[in-house]
Amino acid sequence: MFRRLRQFFKDVIAEFKRVQWPTREATIKSTSVVVCVSLVVALYLGIADLGLSDIMQMVIAG
């Protein structure tokens, strides 16, 4: 059992060495794109929620 566990961790380390990690600049650029898109979507959903809640209040109030 310990032999298989040791082999598993050796394989994990070997796989990590083959991974092509992104550069710092690429990581920062990707992160900023994700943050910007998230903010735009949050703003859109917030405005849509306010609009729909106003419409629902008008429908309920009659």
The pLDDT of residue 1 is 84
Residue 62 banded pLDDT, cuts 50, 70, 90? confident
> Does the residue 18 lie in any domain?
no
The H-assigned helical ranges of the chain are: 2-18, 24-61
3-state secondary structure of 20: coil
Q: Is residue 4 in a domain?
A: no
pTM to 2 decimals?
0.65
| First vs last C-alpha separation in the chain | 71
Domain count, the chain: 1
User: Residue 2 pLDDT > 90, yes or no?
Assistant: no
Q: Is residue 32 part of a domain?
A: yes
In this structure, are residues 30 and 22 in contact, taking their beta carbons and an 8 Å threshold?
Answer: yes
Range of the domain at 53: 23-62
pLDDT digits (tens, 9 = 90+) for 5-59: 999 999 999 999 999 999 999 999 999 999 999 999 999 999 999 999 999 999 9
